Structure 1
Amino acid sequence: MLAYHRDRMLEAAQHFDFDAVAAKLEDGKALHEELLKEVKTYIENGGKDEALKLRILFDKQGSMTVEFMPLPPVPLSTLYPPSLTPPTPHPTTPSSTPDFKPSPLTGGALTLGPTDSLPSTSQPQSQSTTPTPPSPPEWVLRLDTAPTPSTPFTLLKTTYRAFYDQSRARALPTNPLGNAYTEVLLYNEVSELTEGSTTSLYFFRGGRWVTPPVGVPAGEFTSSTLKTDGAGDDGEGAGNSNADEGELRKPFAGRWGHSLRSAKVGAGGQRGTSRRWALKKGFCMEEPVGVDTVGVGEGVWVSNGVRGFGFGRVVE
């Protein structure tokens, strides 16, 4: 996944003419080693060896700053799910008649009461393994109340997030568990869904999961920048004409994976790392999603590179 983050930074650096940054990011292995050193230094200086979010920042001269933010741990299956199948919904109201639970303490003659207990069959405390972090709660999602313009700042990864902040300020839903699991569904000027304010989006359409396509910055590229011969500038992928159909390989060399940026200028949305992973796994397809097709109560998957994948429902 780190390679995907590096690709996003490289694309932004080249678009905004951060030449020193682009040169530094060309060597992905060196970046990986430098980040490992930063993490080791952080721990040696008193930081905890725990789940961390690393925020990597570059100035135009190519100087890198790494910020560390502790995060609640999540299961590995949340970061890398086996599929995008919706989880079984939890009942919203308890049944008026509780299910009968035969008590093994009485041969099944009585029900198991609140003070009953069973002998533990688990390992002794000294032999127990590290507990698996709980699965994240269901997300609460709301459709934005105004379109978000498609600009390089909503297509590429930067620190300028004014458009996203404005969207969250006007449309963020409430969640008793806090804003960590709330999201706004953004759309562009032609009423097509693009992304969430912090996540990529996946809608169930036609019997499969689809994610809105992402476009290219206006005036930046032409059809000549798109290659469909299956070979990148470095020759990788030659011999398979459908390996990366429609993917954008320029203005820099390197393999991007599956079709992740359409030739449509200004479609909007960022090339999320978890989105790219899901496409490559075949969990979803790219397909435009109109605002008028999204309904209250609809189940939607969301994802980002920090929290992984989560399932949510659209509210009014």
Structure 2
Amino acid sequence: MASENGFQLFTSLRYDPLLLESEENSRPNLNFVVPSPFYMLAYHRDRMVEAAQYFDFFEVEKKLKNGKLLHEELAKQVKDHIGKEGKDQAMKLRLLFDKAANLTVEFTAVPAVPLSTLYPPSLDPPNPETQQHPANTFKPSPLIGGFLTLGSDDSLLATSSTPSPPPEWTIKLDTAPTPSTPFTLLKTTKREMYDQSRARALPTNPTSPAHSEVMLYNEVNELTEGTLTSLYLFRGGRWVTPPVGVPSGEFTSKTLKDDGADEGELRKPFAGRWGHSTRSAKVGAGGQRGTSRRWALGSGFCMEEPVGIETVRVGEGVWVSNGVRGFGFGRVVE
């Protein structure tokens, strides 16, 4: 159903019976009912609330206040869907709210992945080829996630057995900027800008066509996000993700917080930050507040840092993530 505004608020999240076995997914900050088959449902709720506040979807904000009721509503709809289809499997749930808070849920089956794809133990240091990027000035240690160099007394731990690696993503830098607007910062069905980006720049991936992505950048030639994913690039010996929600002209070195609060993000208080959502013309200057991105920041796997498009190199490794597929690794192509 169409909203009277011409768009709806939405989020896409993963339903997966395998998540019932995940201790991480059962953390109270990630789900309202545990164990839960919904991937980071609390973060999806937060993101929808923020969009509802900005766009004056007051009834949606009210409906989302009770996270347990949201879980129960989704569980009921999933149960009904499974009853019709006769199969309990991993699915993408697309939640859409119109301004009157009517909820529509669309179901799409998705491939099975291991829990390590949804909750990786770390963003592993890039391989030696990726380390040659000019922004990386020293050799990261595999022992501590790439933050320090190996000393003469250091030794490597034995590599444990892992499942077969998932398909590698093929990633390309967009050929034109995507100006930042509230619709690039908050999740709605108004997505023409993403469709246009994919139409002009989506690379081919013969091995796995679904694992293709375009990196967007804004008016000042800084990366913001992918058309479907959050981005993580290796810079200065650590993984970084483009900042979101910081009003233009207000992002400086002084925004670095010493206490590690606010999901580890580089940010000073402003209207629209996580946990401080208020309506403001200054929604931000980056991409959307990805749920998996928020988790990666909170886990200390990366930090926020602007990434200029002039630093992007063909062949470098890039992590991507979203609330349905989890995390994946890819490489930049021409």
Assess same fold via TM > 0.5.
yes
**Residue 265 of structure 1: how far off its partner (Å):** 6.2
Tell me which residue corresponds to 2:237.
Answer: 207
Once residues 148 and 208 of structure 1 are traced to their aligned partners in structure 2, the CA distance between those partners, rounded to angstroms, is 26
Post-superposition, which runs of at least 4 consecutive aligned residues in structure 1 deviate over 6 A? none
Aligned ranges 1:122-271 → 2 under 5 Å: 135-215=165-245, 243-244=261-262, 246=267, 254=275, 266-271=284-289
**Residue 215 of structure 1: how far off its partner (Å):** 2.3
**Residue 242 of structure 1: how far off its partner (Å):** 5.0
Q: Which of residues 91, 104, 111 in structure 2 aligns to 1:65?
A: 104
The answer to whether the aligner puts 1:7 opposite 2:46 as a matched pair is yes
Aligned pair count reads 252
Q: Which runs of 5+ in 2 are unaligned?
A: 1-39, 129-161
- What's the Cα RMSD here? 3.0
Tell me which residue corresponds to 2:20.
Answer: none
The code of the aligned residue for 1:80 comes to Y
Q: Which runs of 5+ in 1 are unaligned?
A: 90-131, 231-239, 257-262
**Residue 54 of structure 1: how far off its partner (Å):** 0.6
The code of the aligned residue for 2:267 comes to G
Tell me which residue corresponds to 1:52.
Answer: 91
Q: Which entry has the higher C-alpha Rg, 1 or 2?
A: 1
The code of the aligned residue for 1:42 comes to H
Note closer, same or farther for the CA distance 1:21–1:175 as it changes in structure 2 (3 Å cut): same
The code of the aligned residue for 2:109 comes to P
Once residues 177 and 51 of structure 1 are traced to their aligned partners in structure 2, the CA distance between those partners, rounded to angstroms, is 22
The answer to whether the aligner puts 1:74 opposite 2:116 as a matched pair is no
Note closer, same or farther for the CA distance 1:45–1:217 as it changes in structure 2 (3 Å cut): farther
Aligned ranges 1:92-103 → 2 under 5 Å: none
SS at match of 1:180: coil
- 2:182–2:283 Cα contact (<8 Å) kept: no
Note closer, same or farther for the CA distance 1:206–1:8 as it changes in structure 2 (3 Å cut): same
The answer to whether the aligner puts 1:273 opposite 2:291 as a matched pair is yes
SS at match of 1:77: helix
- 1:151–1:268 Cα contact (<8 Å) kept: no
SS at match of 1:82: coil
Once residues 67 and 171 of structure 1 are traced to their aligned partners in structure 2, the CA distance between those partners, rounded to angstroms, is 28
Tell me which residue corresponds to 1:282.
Answer: 300
Once residues 286 and 192 of structure 2 are traced to their aligned partners in structure 1, the CA distance between those partners, rounded to angstroms, is 15
Q: Percent identity?
A: 72
TM-score, normalising length from structure 2? 0.69
TM-score, normalising length from structure 1? 0.73
Once residues 287 and 49 of structure 1 are traced to their aligned partners in structure 2, the CA distance between those partners, rounded to angstroms, is 40
Note closer, same or farther for the CA distance 1:290–1:88 as it changes in structure 2 (3 Å cut): closer
